[in-house]
Amino acid sequence: MFGFIAPFKRSFDEIGFIYKIPEKFLKEIKVGQIVKIPFGNAEIFGVIYEIFENPPKNFEKSKIKEISQIQNEKSFINGYRIELLKFISENYFTAIHNSLNLFLPKNLVEKVKKGKLTQKEKAYKYFSLKNNNLTKKQEQLFLEIYNSKEKKILLFGVTGSGKTEIYIKLIQKYLAENKQVLFLIPEIILTNQIAQRLKNFFGEDLIVLNSTVSEAKKTQYFLDIESGNAKIIIGTRSAIFYPFSNLALIIIDEEHDNSYISDQSPRYNTLEIANKITELNGNKLLLASGTPSINSMYKAINGEYKLLNLLEKFK
């Protein structure tokens, strides 16, 4: 057996490198694990992102080097996320290894390299501190979103119409089913405002992910989300890459905002990433705005998104 390895070290090879999987590793090797490999005169680390029986015909098996060590038992990029990794490489014309930092916190990778990663289970407790009373129209839209067989929905809600009230009711519903919800906000300052509002309904155990979070905290949040213990996650665009294990809903508020587009390498559009996750994972995607983007309105008019309107002010 052989595998494609994307090294953490920068290289000119876009798809990574082929390595042989020693027989002693065959029973434990998994896609998404961090492995140690010989690279030139040194040994480096990388992620195995594809496993196959035979290498391409132009490769001589005898000259292919072997994986030296499986660095961690757990696979940190698996399920829909491994396909998402490939999608980013193909769709945004970037080498696989360039995207690894989107999927794995630096602190986590360094701990795995040193064999010092320990997972401390945290019990997240959520509870409703007050009722969320909706207007007749809000209740109607909540039910349409929750019961919709269509996975991708665009909510055209004017400023002050109470879209957040609908979000809260949806979160309550999925939380009761023990599922995860990702709530994306375009700006850091808004994540803190929304988080404070949600804490009034669900308590203090919300995860807020933005650029102010320390690397150590990112690793802890990564493990808590991956385990399924953390259910409500609020964040800016990079939160989309965390390892959700039971994701039911992605909410993208102010979906028209240009902050959802990354102009740094690797470049990506968060809305495109969310669409792909929905296709791979089967969760629902709720885009919302008082001024929807032209692209989203086009998709709604052409039937790719279900279009819902909330045009009356919330009193």
Task: Please state, in angstroms and rounded to a whole number, the distance separating the CA atoms of residues 227 and 255.
Answer: 28
Residue 60 has pLDDT above 80, yes or no: no
Q: Which residues pair with 232 in a beta bridge?
A: 181
| Contact indicator for 16, 97 with CB cutoff of 8 Å | yes
- Write out the CATH class of domain 2-104: alpha beta
Upstream peptide bond of 266 is cis (omega within 30 degrees of 0): yes
Domain positions in the chain: 2-104, 136-310
Task: Please state, in angstroms and rounded to a whole number, the distance separating the CA atoms of residues 181 and 246.
Answer: 9
The mean pLDDT value for 109-126 works out to 85
The side-by-side arrangement of strands in the sheet containing 284-289 is: 207-209, 232-235, 180-184, 247-253, 284-289, 152-157, 306-310
The mean pLDDT value for 224-252 works out to 96
Is the CATH number 3.30.930.10 carried by domain 136-310? Answer: no
Instruction: Enumerate residues 6+ apart whose C-beta is below 8 A from 174.
Output: 180, 181, 248, 249
φ, ψ dihedrals at 4, nearest 5°: -85, 130
Residue 273 has pLDDT above 60, yes or no: yes
Q: If pLDDT is split at 50, 70 and 90, which confidence band does 226 have?
A: very high
Q: pLDDT tens digits, residue range 291-300? A: 999 999 999 9
Question: pTM of the full predicted structure?
Answer: 0.92
What is residue 122's predicted lDDT score, i.e. its pLDDT? 80
